[in-house]
Chain A
Amino acid sequence: MGATEIGDILDLLRLREVVRAYRPAAIMHFASSALVGESMVNPALYYRTVLSAR
Chain B
Amino acid sequence: LRLIERKVARHENDLARATAAAYREALGRAARELCYWTARLASAEVADPDPEADHGAKLTALLRKAAVRTKEELWSTIGRLQLSPLLRYFSDIFKTIMVVVRRKDASQINRKELLANKRSFPSYVGFLAEGKATARRALMAIVLVTGGAGYIGSHTCKAVAQAGFGPITYDNLSTGNSWGSDGGH
Contact = CB atoms under 8 A, between A and B. Distances in A.
B144 A19 contact: yes
A24 interface: yes
B61 interface: no
A30 B142 contact: no
Interface residues of A, number: 27
Given A9-B172, A31-B170, A4 B144 contact: no
A30 B153 contact: yes
Contact of A2 (B43, B87, B152, B175): B43
Interface string B148-171: 111011101110110001111111
Q: Chain B interface: which size bin?
A: 35 or more
A3 B41 CA distance: 10
A30 to B, nearest CB: 4
B182 A1 contact: yes
Interface of A: 1-9, 11, 15, 18-19, 21-33, 35
Interface of B: 42-45, 85, 87, 139-150, 152-154, 156-158, 160-161, 165-175, 181-182, 184-185
Given A30-B153, A30-B156, 18 more contacts: A1-B181, A2-B45, A2-B148, A2-B160, A2-B182, A3-B43, A3-B45, A4-B171, A5-B168, A7-B171, A21-B85, A25-B141, A25-B165, A26-B143, A28-B144, A30-B152, A32-B147, A33-B174
